[in-house]
Chain A
Amino acid sequence: MAQAVRELEGPGLGGVVVFAGRVRPDRTRSGRVERLDYEAHRALAVAALRELETIARRRYGAERVVLWHRLGAVPVDEVSVIAGAATGHRAAAFDAARYLIEQLKATVPIWKGERSRPSRPRRRRPVGRGGRSAG
């Protein structure tokens, strides 16, 4: 994040928006997510990311753009993707950053696979020790 903000610094750039996507510990059928494994068709993904940056500059007047995505294993709570834009004013920076992340998810050949840790089976309270007793 700090590096992204530094990349977005520049004279007159009063609006800086950085979106960071972190891996959530979602519940799954096999337990709880402990990491996501990302893969990409690299050559096409790099070209698509550059194209999105170009469009963000042209359409929203973003003077600086960051659009980064990690590949390989990303553990829960770590950042997997950053989309940021710097413009003269905040409205365009918000628009540009939203455009970048939404288009990245829809059009860039990157995929994730969930790796889950099995949930611990619920321990049943032993009958007759603590808790409610019958009768």
Chain B
Amino acid sequence: MSARVTVLLFATARQAAGTGRLRWPVPPAGLSARSLVRSLGERFPKLEPVMRTSRFVLNGSYLTGLARRVRPGDEFAVHPPYGGG
């Protein structure tokens, strides 16, 4: 089985991709969060503009940039702007 990360998509990101959860193939050595975001945007064109205003979460921690490496087995979440209340 190829190396994969779990991608969680919420709210408008889920609607744009048509699913809330993806098992996304990645190289065995992983890839940068930036590359992952780019590949998701290429696969789901409607998701690309949503991700421009989204925050990203890697294994439960908010990313402050996209340089972090995402490795097989990681969980990567896309958070569009929040709207509770």
Residues of A within 8 A of B (CB): 21, 38-41, 43-44, 69, 80-81, 101, 104-113
| A21 and B85 form a contact (CB under 8 A) | yes
In Å, the complex CA distance between A81 and B77 comes to: 24
Q: Which of chain A's residues have a CB closer than 8 A to the CB of B4?
A: none
Chain B contact patch, size range: 10 to 19
Chain A residues with CB below 8 A from B82, complex form: 105-111
Q: Which residues of B contact A39 (CB under 8 A)?
A: 10-11
Q: Mark B1-34, 1 if CB is under 8 A from A, else 0.
A: 0000000101110000000000000000000000
**Given A39-B10, A44-B57, A44-B60, does the pair A81, B79 have CB atoms closer than 8 Å?**
no
Residue of A nearest to B14 (CB): A39
- Contact at B11–A43, with CB atoms within 8 Å? no
B9 to chain A minimum Cβ distance, whole angstroms, is: 10
Closest 7 CB pairs of A and B: A110-B84, A111-B11, A105-B85, A111-B83, A81-B85, A112-B83, A21-B85
Q: Within 8 Å CB of A69, what residues of B? A: 84-85
Q: Bound state CA distance, A81 and B82, in angstroms?
A: 14
Instruction: For B80, list chain A residues within 8 Å (CB).
Output: 111
Distance in angstroms between the alpha carbons of A80 and B10 in the assembled complex = 19
Using an 8 Å CB-CB cutoff, how does the interface string of B50-84 with A read, 1 for contact, 0 for none? 00000001001000000000000000010110111
* Cβ contacts A to B, 10 pairs, < 8 Å: A21-B85, A40-B84, A41-B10, A41-B57, A69-B85, A81-B84, A107-B82, A109-B10, A111-B82, A111-B83
